Chain A
Amino acid sequence: MGAWELTRAEAEDFLYDEADLLDGWDLEAWLALCTDDVVYEVPATGMPDGSPGTSLFLIHDDRFMLESRIKRLLSRNAHAENPRSRTRRLITNVRVAPVGSNGGGPEAEVRASFHVIRFRDDAMHHYVGRYTYRLRQVDGRLRIAHRRAALDADSLRHSGGKVSILL
């Protein structure tokens, strides 16, 4: 296991490709980057270090819920995203730390800063915060095992009052 080390450049390439898929609404392709035991979570504002088993979050998805979220977003009935917003993800301050191994393969923790800007109805909404990933190597490819987007704002009042996109 010790032989595998994720470089920062590899992590950055992965995050940039991922951002392209999300900005391009290619959500099925993005979902294919996730492991079967993926967890995607967004803590409540003001509690970036909260735990989803004991405190209120905004999002805590397992694979089934994430699939449902994407199915919903790609339908015509996700009214908050119909018509779809346009987004641009700026990702920076990327750092990598190896965290050992899960049964499914070796893993690394990746942290990054994000600024997701969402445009819709001539309004501009900002989501600023920190990503914490656990990326797992599965059959030689990187997969998302855990993905937390923790917002820095005190509230969603600068973010259109909601998290209707995948952060």
Chain B
Amino acid sequence: MEFWSTLVVMEQPFIVDDPSTNTFRVNRRAMVDPEVLAAERANIFDRTWLYLGHESEVAKPGDYVSRTLGGRALVLCRDLDGKVQVWLNTCTHRGATVCRETKGHGRFLTCFYHAWSFDLAGNLASLPDAEAYGPGFDRAALALKAPPRVDIYRGFVFVSYNPAVIPLVDHLAEARDYLDLVCEQSDTTMAILPGTQEYSIEANWKLLVENSIDGYHAMSTHATYMDYLITAMRKAAEAMGEPLAPPSLSGHARDLGNGHAVIEYTAPWARPTARWAPPLSPDLRAALDARRAELAERYGEARAQRICETSRNLLVFPNLIVNDIMAVTVRSFEPVTPGLMHVRAWELAPVGEPGSLHEVRLDNFLTFLGPGGLATPDDVEALECCQRGFTSWRELPWSDISRGMAQERPGITDELQMRVFWRRWNQMIGGDPASASGGGETEVRLRAVGGGR
């Protein structure tokens, strides 16, 4: 059970974190060793909050989706009273899954094996020949079982397998403000659009955490996307006789507490809420400017500027990425083996957005994002190349994540945001009992014992 006890006697630490020399290194063993994955399951995925899905995925009473989280088969549904519910996808009788569709609608979840049937509020509604169980039969005790903790923040549904986990709002810490910024794009609500990008990457899951919040690789890995974007912008600007501002990415990285981190920056791309830029049609300019003015009225100019004009890549430790860029993607991932992860990505959009803007949003998303876009396939390739490179971890054990350590205020091409993740990871993997809360700069240097080479 206590996997960490075997890991703490390792000869080398997983992390070297030495501010005196601006050194931050991660031991590549963390990406290849099955023992490390076992420790991650026990000390992270079984202990903290995990992102499961969004309540809009089960918008109507009777809607359900099934998916695996932290290795467990779960059902997310909305019962007939309208309450969002999460159930372990297993019959309380003999264990078969009660939901075999990835998505559906109905009044009952029925285990076909012996035809036990549960309503979406979990109650055991019917079973064949119930009288055979006799008078002591406790039907209530055989209701579907929920994971120990389920909570929702602004539509984002989280689950924890740890009954003693800290409250979700405390866990989210300053990441809440960034989820708020995403939600404030809509006056009504934000919803996940139909369709899931389901893929896999033959690499360690932590590499996707790093990659999703890595500003440094944007210009090198994604040169072909930048070329597309600049060509499209130049073409449109020329057609309109508008000057084209020189494209740049600039902004800062922030530690949001508890392992959460963000990069927030200005970027050349248009944002459907609400930053007009070529190659958007000039016809859309008035609508976007009006939307921008409405949000300034409601939230004040400074906040509206952030809602509308800045992009952000947000990590909610350990398994949620919300990238609010040229469109909003919600991405979640799950380790299968040290060298394989499953990934799901969705698109989040304001409900009731005008049709023309909505179509722009959908197309914007696909230019960059997703396994068919102009960028994500190269991220997949990069991560798989790293994983292949890690085969020599014994001879070359250390990856360097020290970029920007000497900076007063690290920028988006620095690596503060990854260090925030790794410090928290290191704290939790070490079995630190305090790790269900807290996580500031001082306590995370527990294992910063130098060494290595």
Q: Which residues of A contact B (CB under 8 A)?
A: 42-47, 50, 52-60, 64-65, 68-69, 71-72, 75, 77-81, 154-157, 159-164
CB distance from B358 to the nearest CB of A (A): 7
Query: Nearest chain-A residue to B365 (Cβ)?
Result: A56
How far apart are the CA atoms of A78 and B375 in the complex, in Å?
A: 9
Interface centre among B343, B347, B362, B373 (most CB of A within 10 A): B362
- B196 A44 Cβ-Cβ under 8 A: yes
Q: How many residues does chain B have at the interface if contact means C-beta atoms less than 8 Å apart?
A: 44
B196 and A46 within 8 A (CB) = yes
Instruction: Determine the chain B residues whose CB is within 8 A of the CB of A164 once the complex forms.
Output: 377, 380-381
User: In the complex, what distance in Å separates the CA atom of A19 from the CA atom of B195?
Assistant: 28
Task: Check if A58 sits within 8 Å of B232, measured CB to CB.
Answer: no
Interfacial residues, chain B to chain A (CB-CB below 8 A) = 102-103, 193-202, 221, 223-225, 227-228, 231-232, 235, 342-343, 346-347, 355, 358-359, 362-363, 365-367, 370-374, 376-378, 380-382
Cβ of B362 to closest chain A Cβ, rounded Å: 6
Chain B residues positioned under 8 Å from A53 (CB to CB)? 355, 358-359, 362
> Quick check: B378 and A80 within 8 Å, CB to CB?
yes
| Chain B residue, CB-CB nearest to A153 | B198
Smallest distance from the beta carbon of B290 to chain A beta carbons, Å? 22
**Apart from A59-B373, A79-B221: 7 A-B pairs, beta carbons within 8 A:** A44-B196, A45-B196, A46-B196, A55-B193, A72-B224, A75-B224, A164-B380
CB atoms of B193 and A72 under 8 A apart? no
Can you list 30 pairs linking A and B with CB atoms under 8 Å apart?
A: A43-B195, A44-B198, A46-B195, A52-B362, A53-B362, A54-B193, A56-B196, A57-B362, A58-B197, A58-B371, A59-B366, A60-B363, A68-B228, A68-B231, A68-B374, A71-B224, A71-B227, A78-B224, A78-B377, A79-B377, A80-B378, A154-B102, A154-B198, A155-B200, A156-B198, A159-B199, A161-B199, A162-B376, A163-B371, A163-B372
Which residue in chain A gives the minimum CB-CB distance to B342?
A157
A96 to chain B, nearest CB (A): 27
